[in-house]
Amino acid sequence: MSLEPYRIRPVALVYGAYATLALFVAVIFLIDHPAKTARWLVGMERAAKSVLPISRSSLEGQDLNSTVQLPEPVVDPWKKLAVAYFKYLPVMKALDTDGDYTISSRELILAPAALRTLDRNHDGKLDPWECGAAAGSPRPAAFIRRNPVLAVIDTDRNGELSAEEIANSSVSLQALDRNGDGRLTPDEYLP
């Protein structure tokens, strides 16, 4: 047969295509609906004594000789300081929308909108009192310079966050990301 010229009949190709398509649909159906199809057992349905002989004497009277030790949970040394800092600085609460004491990359992107929520007098900028300075503070501008998050946003160093500085806060805050992982952790934003 191989020496003679041979052509496959077109009808045979069509039948082969139908058979392949039917098999493909059946396999996909069985994969997609496992609970509705019959279960196939592989091997024996019940164990016989000759298949797996177990000597019960080898299991009795033995002391355990292995111990499993789980490592102590990792305690973040910065956690207590971060909690106190967030209570002290409303800007941090506004930036950290999910409350995990880490400013994620998503929260960095949303920083301008979060900072605008602190503008109580709706003048478009944040003064030191809106950022968390004490009401009778003698030097409110120093409050912004002492806090790294506020200091990095206050690019003109005038002691308040202007509308332009708030709009650029996403870029400004990335300067605090020392390890370049795209998020701010307590060791990066704490004073």
- Residue of 119, 85, 126 whose CA lies nearest to 102: 85
**b/e for 113-135, b at 16 or more Cβ within 10 A?**
ebbbebbeeeeebbbbebbbbee
pLDDT tens for the 191 residues of the chain, in order: 456 677 778 888 899 999 999 999 988 887 777 665 455 555 555 555 555 566 666 556 666 677 888 888 887 788 888 888 888 888 888 998 888 888 999 999 999 999 999 998 889 888 888 888 887 777 877 888 888 888 999 999 888 899 999 999 999 998 998 898 988 888 888 88
CA distance 87 to 146: 16
Listed by start position, the domains of the chain span 79-189
Q: Which residues pair with 24 in a beta bridge?
A: none
CA distance 141 to 99: 27
